[in-house]
Each structure stands twice: as structure tokens, then as C-alpha cells.
Structure 1
């Protein structure tokens, strides 16, 4: 593959995969730990909310920083912060200091760090490969992320047998390895001209997306579709109370969407989408909603696994199309700020979606929450196809 001729990208990819696996285990452990302590769907939803809420305050500054300083250094600091958070959890669990309040506090820390890492890590990829390879690089990066999403929960489910203190300590060690791997990445960072930080410069990414209907449609589609259709926060409830498969089964359920996504990501890295990318985006989002409905009503573990895997496959088409469009339509001087706004929407769809799932599950039960959310995702795809005809009718990336 042509990407392997660019060693800086491959080293960076390896660091992201390593850190991504540790992050998946850490998030899985925090959710499981909270449910074991409280048995409350509401508290599971609050974990997701607190991982999102700080991003509202720091999203715009994180994008501005990513356009002003070395993006690689930002990612290194963020990985080190994740290692520190995991170490705190390991010590607290071992010493018996663990509590819902501490889990909330660590969730806030992770939510604060995430926008800085997302803005810098997304914006740096175009500097590591030629423009013509960007669709392949985007798909390959997504494949690595999905591989870590598979390996992380699977390994985490096995580590649960040894105790949550071991899980957290392992995460801290893996985050440290990822941080060290980043020191092997080299790329040419050209400092931009010095200019004062103003409200206009902070809001530049938001203004750029708002003026570009294709980008606006792409990022808001992800926001509302995954906000409604996400079921990740409720997986501990499904594993324990509905499918009766315990923590080992929880790890498999958490990994299932990534299994389907990985297959599609590898295929797209080998043969990128060439035509009708807008139409494929809309169809993939609608399909995601359908598969979430199937998961919601299933009482069979393997059917649930298949539905989640299929939802991950559909979602990967959407991810690659959206991220490629954002990168190709944004000048490098703006990529950090645009990526920060995009990451805010992604965070809203994921973390805020977890809160929405937990809150609706507390009101109407987990099954109804998942089914209603999946139906809502299908309706969003249909609405966006009408509202953003330029996006839905987009033929090629360039």
C-alpha cells in the first residue's frame, strides 16, 4: 500500500491505535464500575454527559491552539493526561477510595482533554501524506481506530477477571507507550504568523462550517443521527439484565460495532469511494438506524452482536465520507479550528447521546429507548437528504 511509503504517518497511526485501545478499555471500565456502584441508568448517562460538557467550554480554544502550535506536541500531552487519569483510577480502586464522585471527576478530566486531542490529531493527518492519498489515509486511520475498539474491549473484558485495579493500571501503561511512540513521528511544522487571539479568530472554524452547506450538513448529520441512535451507554444494562452475559459479554458487545466497521474501513482503504458519495452517506446513516432498532428488540446474544456489527459497518461509510470532505474542503491554516468544531459535534453525538440514552432509559426502559432512537436516526437521514441537497447529491470528494 502506498501509505507505507510515508513512515511518519505509519508511526503516528501506530500510536493512535495503541492509545485508542487503552481509551476504549478505560471508558468501558468506568461505565461498568459506575453501574456496579449505583445500578442506575441515570448515573451511566451522567458519565456520558460529564465527558461531553467540558468540550463546550474548550472546543474553540482547542482548535485555535491546534492552528498555532505544534499539533504533535498537543497529542503527546493529551496521551500523557490519559495515562495520569488511568493511574488515579488504579490507585483509588486498589486503596478503596473509589466512589461515583471520583468517576464523575475523571469523566470531566477526560472530557476536557478530548477536544484538544481531537482537534490536533485530526488536523495533523494531511501534513503526513500527499493530498491524493488523503481518502486512503482517512480510511486507514479509521481502520486502526476500529481495530483498537475491537481489541480494547475484548482485552478489557478478560482483564476484568483480575480486577478493575488491574484494568486501570494496564490502561495507564498502554497510554504511556502511546505517548513514547509519538516521539518517533517527524513532520514539518511551520509556525503561523503571530496574531492576537480575538473572538473572530476563535469563531473562525464555526463561521467556516456555517458558510459551507456541504460541511454543515455533514457534521450536523452526525450530531443528530448518532445522538438519537447511540446505544453504547446502555450496553452494561443489556449485558447484565437483558442478555445475561456479564462483563465478558459486555466486552464483546462493545467490540461488535468496531468489527463491522473494521471490515468496511479496510475495504475503503484499499478501494476508496469514487462516485455518489453523498447518496452513500445518507443511505449508510439510515441503515445504521435500522440495525440499532434490531439490536434494541433482540433477546439473542448473537443476533445482538450481528446487529451491532452491521451498525458499525454502516457508520464507517458515514465516517469516512464526512471526515474526507472536511479535510479536503478546509485550508490547512483552518484545519485545527474546523476539526475542533467537528469534534464538538462528534462529542455531542457520542457523549451527549449516552446521556440521552440513559435519561430516556430511566423514563421508558432501555429497550424502548434504543428502538425510538434508531427510528429517529432513520428519520434524520431522510430529513437531511431534503435539507442538504448539495451534500446528498455530491458525486465525488473533490
Structure 2
């Protein structure tokens, strides 16, 4: 790919298309999550108390995580073997089908909790295909020297989607519940069109003599052998898994803050507002030195903001706490994605990205399950506060257990190191 002197990532056509697809998919997913969460919780509250209904929210996270946990090693291998554009595009179309099904059921007054869980499981399957493919695709749209800025711009697209999706989805649900799911389907159509329009990419051919199961295991082996990558991925996993307050936002909106579905959209968007501002800053002024220490500090701030939100009884306090939480999470995500994508050779990006996606899925979907289950045992407020404390403890422990992460200085240093060879791979290039 020719390097344009002094140009940022948006100077490249394929990155612009990728950015549109990323933003559209995040808008859709955020809208769908907020609508499905409210639909399930509100339906459950018709016959259950707060803690039992919180358990149903946990189940929604669990049924999305299980298929991703099972399929992600396979889909990561597929992202290194097959066309990443087509994998991402077709998975968007399958998610579109699920959103249309929900829109029809809600419009016709049909469906049950069991049906909603089945649709959530289908969403988990499609995201298991989508995440490794689109994560591995991003570095193929820009030269390596522009990748840190592309990571920040990619994160901005995700946060714009995370801001507007919940707000629009929440208000659309308040007007007519089926509209939120229809909106999600329309956005997925835009994303799939943009992905299919990206130019054909070059990729390395996997060694056909090496068994596919061995090739899948190579991604995990690579992560385990590179402590910097392992530390960055696992810290993000544990911090968000323990501090996932967003899973309980329907509980806070309905029974703690009493702000309804429209207020739920604002609560859901608040972390993304903080993350967006931080992402815009990072896309203009990337982090300099001591990126590892800054990631650890961001996790501590994330935990403290989670505790503040958990104890709040006022929307005026809750929204700033969530915004700070989102800003800190953006720094953590930015450092993790930059380190992983820069330090990983392209022939391994699908499989290593699959491991990263699995960790992210665990921190999000499994974190939702964990938050729902803990809330069912000790109540939603105690669950959020304990999660924030756990995030702070994780940052302290990871600083001790992963000195390579603590001592990581700059992305330029990582990019300057020779990329490790992918086990058993050849240098053949495919158009």
C-alpha cells in the first residue's frame, strides 16, 4: 500500500469505508442492546421482582457469550484463511435478519423470553464471525506507520455509534418498540454495503500442510508467549468483567434513578461521550511514552468511576461518573488495540484478534452475566460497587505480574521491533 506523506488514515479510501462500516455496526449493536435489554427486563418485571429480573439480564449476556466462546477460535482461523471483508459483511447481514425478526415480533405482539434468548444467541454467533474478521481487517486498510492513528479513529467510530445508538434506540423504543429494532437493521445494511466495497486485500497463505487445529492453536500460543500482549488483553478482560456497570443500567433506570427508557438511553450513552472526547484527542495527539503505566492508571480511574456511579442516586452525578468511566476505558482500549495490532504479524492477526475478541466478549457479554448474577445475590448497588473495587485491585496486581506491560514505553518502540514469524506459515501473498 503506497504511503501518502503526512497523511492521516482518512486519506485512504479503504479506511474511510471501513470507518463507515465500523460506525454503522456499532450504532446498530448499541441500539439493539439497549432495546433488547429493556424489552427483556420490562417483560420479566411483569411477573418477577427486581433481583429475579436482573437474573434475566444476566442470562441475555450469557447466551450471547457461549456461542462466541465456542466459535471464536474457528472464526479467528477463518479470518486468516478467507476474505475478511466478506466475513464481516455476511455476518452483518445475518445480524440484520435477527433485528428484523425482533422488529416483527414486537410489532405483532409476539415472542417470549425464550424467543428473545434464542435471538440473542444468534447475535452471539454472528458476532463471533464479525469481530475477529473486522479487527484483522483494520490494519489492511492503512500503512503500518499510520496504524496508531487509525486505531484511535476506529475507536472514535465505535464510540460515536455507542453514543448515538443508545440515545436513538432508547427514544425510538419509547415511541414504538419495533422502531428500535428496525433502525438496527437499517444500519447493518449500510455497514455490510461498505464492507463489500472495500478493495481486495493481500494476505499471507496459511501452510496447508499444517493441520487447521494446530493453526488455530497458534494464535493462543502467540499470545501466551508474548507477555506484553497477554498482559494488555487480560487486564482489559478482568477490569471490564468486574466493573461492568453498564449491564445493570436497565435496573438503575427503572428502579434506582427512575428515569425510564429515555433516561436509560442517556445513561447508556454517557460512557461513550467520555470515550469519544478521549478518542478524538488520541487521534490528534497519540500517547507518547509510558503507555503501559497510562493503561494501568486508566483502569484505576475506571474502577473509581464505577464505584461513584454505583453509590449515586442522582442522574446529575451518575452521568459524569459514567462519562469518566468511558474516558478511562478508551485509554485502556486504545493502548491494548495498538499494542496487539502493531506487535502481531499480519498472518496471525485473525487468530490473535480472535483471542482478543474472545477476551473482549468475556468482558462484555460474560461481564453482563456476572453483573446480573451478582446483583441477584447481593443487589444491584453492591454488585456495581464491588465490581469497581475489583477493577482497581486488578490494575495493582497486573502491574506486579506483568512488568513488560508496566514498562512498555511507546508504540514506536513496539513497531520498530521485528515482527515474530507466524508458526508454520509461508510468505506467499494472495491477492
Class of the TM-score when normalised by the shorter of the 2 chains: over 0.9
Show CA shifts across 1:125-170 (max 9, x none).
1111111111000000001100010010111121112221121122
Indicate yes or no: 2:311 matched with 1:304: no
5+ residue gaps, structure 2, are: 1-6, 46-52, 415-431
Show CA shifts across 1:342-366 (max 9, x none).
1001100111111111011111110
Q: Among residues 33, 37, 56, which one is paired with 1:31 in the alignment? A: 37
Name the SS of the counterpart of 2:114 in structure 1: helix
Indicate yes or no: 2:52 matched with 1:46: no
Q: Among residues 367, 383, 391, which one is paired with 2:397 in the alignment? A: 383
TM-score by structure 2 length?
A: 0.91
Partner Cα distance (1:193, 1:270) in 2 = 36
Q: 1:281 to 1:346 in 2, by over 3 A?
A: same
Q: Among residues 2, 11, 14, which one is paired with 1:8 in the alignment? A: 14
Name the SS of the counterpart of 2:197 in structure 1: coil
Partner Cα distance (2:25, 2:201) in 1 = 23
Partner Cα distance (1:313, 1:321) in 2 = 13
Name the SS of the counterpart of 1:233 in structure 2: helix
Indicate yes or no: 2:205 matched with 1:186: no
Q: Aligned ranges for residues 77-156 of structure 1 at < 5 Å?
A: 77-156=90-169
Residue 191 of structure 1 and its aligned partner are, at CA, apart by 5.8
Indicate yes or no: 2:357 matched with 1:351: no
Q: 1:193 to 1:216 in 2, by over 3 A?
A: closer
Q: Among residues 21, 24, 42, which one is paired with 1:18 in the alignment? A: 24
Partner Cα distance (2:122, 2:207) in 1 = 30
Name the SS of the counterpart of 1:273 in structure 2: coil
Name the SS of the counterpart of 2:232 in structure 1: helix
1:332 counterpart residue number: 346
TM-score by structure 1 length?
A: 0.98
| Cα RMSD after superposing both structures | 1.1
Residue 380 of structure 1 and its aligned partner are, at CA, apart by 0.4
Partner Cα distance (2:204, 2:99) in 1 = 33
Partner Cα distance (1:60, 1:18) in 2 = 25
Residue 193 of structure 1 and its aligned partner are, at CA, apart by 4.7
> Following superposition, which runs of at least 4 residues in structure 1 exceed 3 angstroms of deviation?
none
Name the SS of the counterpart of 1:97 in structure 2: coil
Indicate yes or no: 2:283 matched with 1:269: yes
Q: Among residues 68, 71, 82, which one is paired with 2:81 in the alignment? A: 68
Indicate yes or no: 2:268 matched with 1:254: yes
Partner Cα distance (1:238, 1:112) in 2 = 29
Name the SS of the counterpart of 1:67 in structure 2: helix
Name the SS of the counterpart of 1:48 in structure 2: helix
Partner Cα distance (1:84, 1:97) in 2 = 17
Name the SS of the counterpart of 1:183 in structure 2: helix
Partner Cα distance (1:378, 1:361) in 2 = 20
Contact 1:140 1:265 (8 Å CA) reproduced: yes
5+ residue gaps, structure 1, are: none
Partner Cα distance (1:342, 1:181) in 2 = 24
Partner Cα distance (1:227, 1:188) in 2 = 35
* Count of residue correspondences: 398
Residue 176 of structure 1 and its aligned partner are, at CA, apart by 1.2
Name the SS of the counterpart of 2:297 in structure 1: helix
Contact 2:204 2:346 (8 Å CA) reproduced: no
Partner Cα distance (1:259, 1:43) in 2 = 28
1:225 counterpart residue number: 239
Name the SS of the counterpart of 1:104 in structure 2: helix
Residue 189 of structure 1 and its aligned partner are, at CA, apart by 3.1
